[in-house]
Structure 1
């Protein structure tokens, strides 16, 4: 029997990482959660609350951490590189403290330098961080982007050279965002689109898909625009998400929404995904 996908969402933690996060999870019917452990749009690092960490760890709720949006190992700016290293090292430690299964990190952009130089920086700065993760620690999950600007990784095929730069490290996993993939040119709405996309992912990164960000898209396939829509309300459509959860590559992989709206809309999205499951 194919293992079932846990379905949940990114939760807000007002009132405490565990207290607020678990309350929000209950409100939206989440079976798993994703959280931030510090400001997602600033470099400041949060020490966290050991009591809240323990409460979340002991709750048994499967959790993932999304890293700071500013992290970019392809940046030509030394200060950004140094801050990116500090943030990921800190986030991996915080993720371990709450018992998280993985840390999601955007794959970055070359900005104003060559792709070759940017990829050398990815190897130089990210590979040592992967080496620091203990065997029972959280995986670092690479999230390809929508293809805007000088992004280093957008299509699933781009993951091949990215992982190669990291020596296919055993702690390097993948987080597939459906809106990003669609925007980058994977036509998930086509009758065979999901199968072709996940088959291609299996070719370049077998066994590395650890999390799915389930987001519909406000824009058409290939738009290179990262604008999330509620499940079934965008250009991807509900059928693609049913196809996704039936594909063997996605078997047992947690599915996390990052869709617009507040708790009521998130609850509707999760309920729809459960029906599609």
Structure 2
């Protein structure tokens, strides 16, 4: 029997990965965490603190890391591409050092070059990084985007050619962001939409779903706008998250919020998801 999904959030590591991250996790009632191990909006790569790494690794807290936002393996810029390769390699090494289960990376954009050229480039540069991951190392979790611009992957269906370009490498997993999927056109506000989305994911990439970013959406389905909202306060609503956790494809898959607000709001979102997971009604008002 599959264990219930652990529910947590992206946490601040101010004060250290273990000191800050675990304190923040406790403050918001998180059962798992996602962290940045380097500046999320820059190319400078932060070295780890072995003491903090070991403390987080030994804490028993399920953790994931998120690669910096600048990473784009589909970029036509040689400089951006090279820096992306270096940054993803660094992220994988740091994730291994702290015992993280996976590294989330955005699936990227072709920007001004053709999609075919970007996909060939993706294969040439990302596949070798997957090959470098040791057997006990983290998975690389591909996070489809909201569909804006020349994004290489937004819908569940887009994952098939993306994973094919990576030769269906066993270390290539999927992180499904509910706000992104909703913005890309998957209507997760309905029971039928949740079922169809997860059924399609299972048909195209069985066993690849390793993490869910649980975010409501400020904008309507198909908007292609990536604006997260608190659970139950957006266009998706609260109940679909219970339906999502109840689907066999998502059974036991951790949920991580990336919603607006500070610790109080995050604690409320996590509590709402726990109640939905455990079969209770979400709070009203």
* Segments ≥4 residues shifted beyond 3 Å: none
Distance 2:76 2:210 in 1: 30
Distance 1:2 1:75 in 2: 40
The residue number in structure 1 matching 2:171 is 171
The residue number in structure 1 matching 2:151 is 151
The residue number in structure 1 matching 2:33 is 33
Distance 1:158 1:191 in 2: 22
Using structure 2 for the length normalisation, give the TM-score.
Answer: 0.97
* Cα deviation code 1:1-24 (max 9, x no counterpart): 442000000000111111000000
The residue number in structure 1 matching 2:197 is 197
Distance 2:107 2:72 in 1: 7
Superposition pairs of residues 206-245 of structure 1, within 5 angstroms: 206-245=206-245
Distance 1:175 1:205 in 2: 12
1:48 Cα deviation after fit: 1.2
The residue number in structure 2 matching 1:109 is 109
The residue number in structure 2 matching 1:265 is 265
The residue number in structure 1 matching 2:13 is 13
* Cα deviation code 1:77-106 (max 9, x no counterpart): 000000000000000000000000000000
* Cα deviation code 1:163-208 (max 9, x no counterpart): 0000000000000000000000000012311000000000111000
Question: Is the counterpart of residue 186 in structure 1 residue 162 in structure 2?
Answer: no
Distance 2:32 2:189 in 1: 26
Unaligned runs of 5+ in 2: 278-285
Unaligned runs of 5+ in 1: none
The residue number in structure 1 matching 2:82 is 82
The 8 Å contact of residues 144 and 155 in structure 2, kept in 1 or not, is answered as yes
Paired residues, number: 277
The residue number in structure 2 matching 1:47 is 47
| SS of 1:142 mapped into structure 2 | strand
Distance 1:183 1:249 in 2: 21
The 8 Å contact of residues 231 and 272 in structure 2, kept in 1 or not, is answered as yes
Using structure 1 for the length normalisation, give the TM-score.
Answer: 0.99
Distance 1:80 1:148 in 2: 19
The residue number in structure 2 matching 1:3 is 3
Question: Is the counterpart of residue 128 in structure 1 residue 122 in structure 2?
Answer: no
Distance 1:114 1:48 in 2: 37
